[in-house]
Amino acid sequence: MGSTDTSVLDAAKTWRDQDPDDETRTELDAIISEAETGSASALADLHSRFDLRLEFGTAGLRGELAAGPNRMNRVLVAQAAAGLAAFLLARESSPSVVIGYDGRKNSHIFATDTAELMAGAGVRAIILPRLLPTPVLAFAVRHLDVSAGVMVTASHNPPNDNGYKVYLGGTDNGSQIVPPSDAEIEAQIVRVAETRRVPDLPRSTDYETAGEDVLDEYVRQTASLVSAPAAAPRFVYTAMHGVGWETARRVFADSGFGVPVVVPEQIEPDAAFPTVAFPNPEEPGALDLAFRTATEAGVDLIVANDPDADRLAVAVPDGSGGWRRLSGNEVGWLLGWRAAERLQSAGESVAAVGGDAASCVNGALAASIVSSPALAEIAHQYHLDYADTLTGFKWISRVPDLAFGYEEALGYLVDPRKVRDKDGISAAVEFLSIVAELKAAGRTIDDHELDFAARFGAFASGQVSVRVMELADIPRIMARLREHPPTHLGTVAVTAIDDFAEGFGSFPPSDILRIHLEDGSRVIVRPSGTEPKVKVYLDASSTDGTAVERIAAAQTAVDALDAAVRPLLG
């Protein structure tokens, strides 16, 4: 046994001896015992758990539930809570935090640990009254005017994952953490891990439980986004075994959309996610039960939230008895078009009474750089500001004068005054309102998309994802692309490649490659911030011919790109 193996065994024993969780302590003890016999697999397991720590990424901490600093567990969460408390105490004399949690395994335990450790450190801690959606926690940060928020969730990750998202109040306006705060918090967490044992960290049960008024006000403000529908659509709703239903049901009722048909097998929180292998509405098969329910009920559309209800998926009839899930970009540009129309109408209303119309059209649209260029075209035609951002709502939410923002991974921010993060429930109400207006006029989403292509051009998008077994494979793939960049993708020449590794324009250094092609198409390659994947985003557009011809041409271009990029990732 080498020195590195001895070191990892020592680290594992130190971790085990401070672990307050019987399950992970017993799990780790068994691996240690096996490793001490010389088991190569047990030693490899320990190195996987102890050679690295989970760090704040695109969506905070997120990982598999198991023992060790490279997994999610009570020791890691205690260190994170104590480190965050130290960060907050260094920023202000009387900091405060609100804590939320979803229905995953250990979410309530991690949230309670956080509340006790925050209170023990001298931070005013408020915990939400029960498991609730991430958007409610993001709302509570601003509504309660606290210094920070913590949401215990792994969103749409596999069942055995959990995570820890951090928001900041004050001048951060309830957005997720960004540099340099993330590095400062990380440094405090590491300091705690290196100098304190978890049993020695001060705890207190002197924390508060938020009242129902927090949820009531979120529901009121969300329902008030839209007018009562003249022709409410019938729709199916699924919570994907998550926590969205209680809140969404109230919002749907109060906004005039009534009670949807639910997918009964998926409507209540269930940490095992028994009907889906991967609880992400984007994944193949995840909406199969919703499709079946919708076909049996004869509804107009399907609305799905992911397990923590910060994302929205929509499906509509495909014209042949089945269902078509709209892509995140399709939903994004339709909601963006609606936001632009709303800003324009506000300006026209002010102008009609002699006011300054420009002051009411002062709003920006924003999307992550991997999202469709369609939103930029909407902003251009409506004379609105537009911003591309790095991936993640921690960036989108910070765009000045933001009126609407989205990212193609089913995330939409439709009401920045209320929540500075993606919100699948608010977005659902907005989309239902679009469908209701179309239904009152005898039209459908398909008709609306044709109108969009006729006005703005047709945009098509695709995505290729490569899941890796070892995280080290990701930098190898990216390095290979940098060392041997493509000159053509299929028959189309590459005209330029933007490498964000050293920063690009106003963007900070990022592991992103953006490939421009001669026909105006675009390919973006980047590692996922939440999963062990390399993701490739494909975009093409067309303004030639009829709306139908434009849509077909754009999709043909994306299909060709899909075939061309796959060999590059092997």
Domain 215-325 has CATH 3.20.20.70: no
Q: What is the C-alpha separation between 294 and 74, in angstroms, rounded?
A: 41
List, by residue range, all CATH 3.30.310.50 domains of the chain.
457-569
pLDDT on residue 352: 47
pLDDT on residue 56: 79
Give CATH superfamily name and number for 59-211: Alpha-D-Glucose-1,6-Bisphosphate, subunit A, domain 3 (3.40.120.10)
- What H or E segment, with its residue span, contains residue 461? strand 458-467
Q: List the chain residues with pLDDT less than 50.
A: 351-353, 357, 360
pLDDT on residue 47: 96
Query: Which active-site residues does the annotation give?
Result: 155
pLDDT on residue 481: 93
pLDDT on residue 353: 47
User: 516: burial class by Cβ within 10 Å (0-12, 13-18, 19+)?
Assistant: middle
- What H or E segment, with its residue span, contains residue 101? strand 96-101
Q: What is the C-alpha separation between 357 and 512, in angstroms, rounded?
A: 39
Nearest CA among 282, 293, 65, 112 for reference residue 209: 112
pLDDT on residue 349: 52
List, by residue range, all CATH 3.40.120.10 domains of the chain.
59-211, 215-325, 329-453
CATH topology of domain 329-453: Alpha-D-Glucose-1,6-Bisphosphate; Chain A, domain 3 (3.40.120)
Domain 457-569 class in CATH:
alpha beta
Count of all residues that appear for the chain in the document:
570
- What is the DSSP track for 25-89? HHHHHHHHHHHHTT-HHHHHHHHHHHSS----BTTBEEEEBSSSTTSBSHHHHHHHHHHHHHHHH
Tell me the pTM.
Answer: 0.94
